[in-house]
Structure 1
Amino acid sequence: MISQIRGGTRWKRFALVMVPSIAATAAVGVGLAQGALAASFSVSGQDFKVSADSLVGTDMIQYGSVAQGATLESDKKSYHPVIISGFKEAKITNMCQSLVTKTPLGNITMQLKTGHKGSPAVAKNIYLDVAELDADAVLGDLDIGVAAGDGSHATKPKEGTLADGALFSQRAKTATLTKVRQKAWATTAGTFTLPDLNLRLYGGDKPCYQDEK
């Protein structure tokens, strides 16, 4: 994989571009134990699903990190290797977010929909802690293998997740993802505008999409 690519780049499976970064996360747990990385906050013990028809973002940055998880036992921690994807701005069309939770009454699904009536959801300074991502992607002005702490990143690394500035990262001036299917541990944003917000609770398992078998 060439370290620097200019222009538009297409991948059928967007996750493939992060193979070097995913390999790097194999050592992330060791780095965390040695204080090389710091988690910004403790995530819950559940990941959630997000789907969208498209995500159009500017000034993308991606790098490997670890999300620290909370547990019911206060003296224990869980750690989840993630790819942090940051955008200066992202417009998301037909977004669905879902979380299935076990209760004494059976499984309950929380489902949120937005950007499905002609106006996209708009996020500024958004960071996604991603565990899995499938999409079609076109990246413009792409640099692969840039140090995460390099000061020339238009979008800075997420606060509290990067102590070792030499970590592998990649950046792109523009990013267009379609047919997005994602599992994530956390999302943070400076502002997130959600037009035509629809939040519902359903009995049973009703995620935004089904996992491929």
Structure 2
Amino acid sequence: MTTTAAAIPVSFAVARSPFSVTSQHIEAEGAVQFASFRQDGSGGRHAVAVVGIREAKLYGLCQSAVAHTPFGTVTLQIHSDGQRPVKASQLVLDLDALRGDMSFGSVKMGRDASTLDGGGITGPAGVYGQQARTLTIEHMRMEAWSLTAGMFSLSDATMDVRAGEHPC
């Protein structure tokens, strides 16, 4: 993956399995989206929706990643306090799926991805893109291959690792 988050070039191969993120409520300013591919560490290619978000507040965040190890399956989970938001800026996500009740403000669909100017990233010329000045999602559930951010701040967060599969 090669992208720019927080004006810092980032390049890495994604893991061979996506991770899950859920949130009760998200409020975002400046969001863009376009289609692309990402390569994992073993050379596999995955179709993704690349999403850029300038600023976001996420309430009731849960992030989980299931790993299949030689000793069995384990799940890493991170939870945030549902009352105080997780704050993030200059987010770039490579999504496999996104579900929830979404509301877009000042949306522009069908833009060439190379001309997007609402979320801090652009895509390749000739690729379908869309952007919105605001984005709100209720009961969000996403499967992502990667996430980069200029800043990601969690209050009263907990992280634990448990045996077995325990996705958010």
Same fold (TM over 0.5): yes
**Structure 2: 5+ residue runs without aligned partners?**
1-9
- 2:31 counterpart of 1:66: no
CA distance in 1, matches of 2:54, 2:66: 30
- 2:140 counterpart of 1:174: no
Deviation at 1:42, TM superposition (A): 1.0
CA distance in 2, matches of 1:110, 1:48: 10
Residues 53 and 120 in structure 2, CA contact (< 8 A), matched pair in contact too: no
Structure showing the higher strand proportion among its residues: 2
CA distance in 1, matches of 2:92, 2:81: 19
The within-5 A match list for 1:69-84 is 69-71=40-42, 77-84=43-50
Secondary structure, counterpart of 2:100 in structure 1: strand
**Structure 1: 5+ residue runs without aligned partners?**
1-38, 72-76, 209-213
CA distance in 1, matches of 2:16, 2:86: 26
Counterpart in 2 of 1:103?
Answer: 69
Residues 148 and 157 in structure 1, CA contact (< 8 A), matched pair in contact too: no
Secondary structure, counterpart of 1:45 in structure 2: coil
Paired positions, count: 159
Runs of 4+ in 1 over 4 A off after TM superposition: none
- 2:16 counterpart of 1:45: yes
| TM-score of the aligned structures, taking structure 2 as reference length | 0.89
- 2:151 counterpart of 1:191: yes
Whichever residue aligns with residue 145 of structure 1, its letter is G
Counterpart in 1 of 2:53?
Answer: 87
CA distance in 2, matches of 1:156, 1:120: 21
Secondary structure, counterpart of 2:150 in structure 1: strand
CA root-mean-square deviation: 1.5
CA distance in 2, matches of 1:155, 1:106: 40
Deviation at 1:45, TM superposition (A): 1.0
Deviation at 1:126, TM superposition (A): 0.5
